[in-house]
Copies of this chain bind each other. A is one copy, B any other.
Amino acid sequence: METQLQQLIEHWPEEALSYRRVGAGEMLFRQGQPANAIYAIRSGSIRMERDLEDGSTVVLHTARAGETFAEAAFNASHYHCNAVAVSDSDVLVLASKVLNGETADLALHKLLNTILANQVRELRTLVSLRDIRGAEDRLLAWIQLQPQTRAGEIVISQTWTVIAQAIGLTRESVYRALSNLVRKRVIERSTAQSDDRTERLRLL
């Protein structure tokens, strides 16, 4: 899907593309402002949060490098949440005006559809994963859903800390679950980190 995002950017009319840097803590947009763009994060991370009547706020999502957000710009006239940079971030701004009107590009809409449909699929599996109570079972299910190489190995390209967040566990729980799975001979971890940095897993 990284590839799909690339495609989207390439197909987007140049005149509707721009960059923007936001420092940590800075706001990219605010709740109530007119929504006129979709964003893609090149680096950093952005948190979306909704202000509530009582002054408190609820986090709706935290988008990381490689993700898009504010797709709501399609239908809503204004943003329904604040976008705050968690760390210094570099975002690509895709003006949504090119989507409206009779002359809008059909191919662009199709591309957008497939990207969104994929995202829906990923998110649903993420939610389902989190329905698995046990840490071991949850982690194992996640592992089993990762793509395998022809050699039957699974390449772990993120840090376990990040994976832990994704599947809704603390990193400690994940490490413990990993240890247990190895001890029970369910998986094997590539202790061989000779030259490359990436870890490899094998299901037994």
A residues adjacent to B (C-beta < 8 A): 50, 52-54, 56, 58-62, 71-72, 74-75, 99, 102, 104, 106, 109-110, 112-114, 116-121, 123-128, 130-131, 141, 144-145, 148, 165, 168, 203
Q: A52-B144, A109-B113, A114-B74 are in contact. Are A127 and B128 (CB under 8 A)?
A: no
CA distance A121 to B69 in the complex (A): 9
Question: CB distance B58 to A144 under 8 Å?
Answer: yes
Which residue on B lies nearest to A112, using beta carbons? Answer: B113
Question: CB distance A127 to B130 under 8 Å?
Answer: yes
**Chain B min CB distance to A110 (Å):** 6
CB contact between A203 and one of B54, B114, B121, B168 (< 8 Å): that residue: B54
Question: CB distance A123 to B125 under 8 Å?
Answer: no
Q: A61-B128, A130-B130 are in contact. Are A71 and B112 (CB under 8 A)?
A: no
**Chain B min CB distance to A167 (Å):** 10
Q: A113-B112, A131-B168 are in contact. Are A124 and B123 (CB under 8 A)?
A: yes
CA distance A128 to B121 in the complex (A): 16
List residues of chain B with CB within 8 A of the CB of A131. 59, 165, 168
CB contact between A71 and one of B54, B72, B120, B148 (< 8 Å): that residue: B120
List residues of chain B with CB within 8 A of the CB of A123. 120, 123-124, 126-127
> Most chain-B CB neighbours within 10 Å: which of A75, A120, A123, A128?
A120
CA distance A56 to B186 in the complex (A): 13
CA distance A111 to B81 in the complex (A): 22
CA distance A131 to B53 in the complex (A): 22
Which residue on B lies nearest to A125, using beta carbons? Answer: B60
> Most chain-B CB neighbours within 10 Å: which of A71, A124, A203?
A124
Question: CB distance B145 to A75 under 8 Å?
Answer: no
**Chain B min CB distance to A84 (Å):** 14
CA distance A137 to B165 in the complex (A): 18
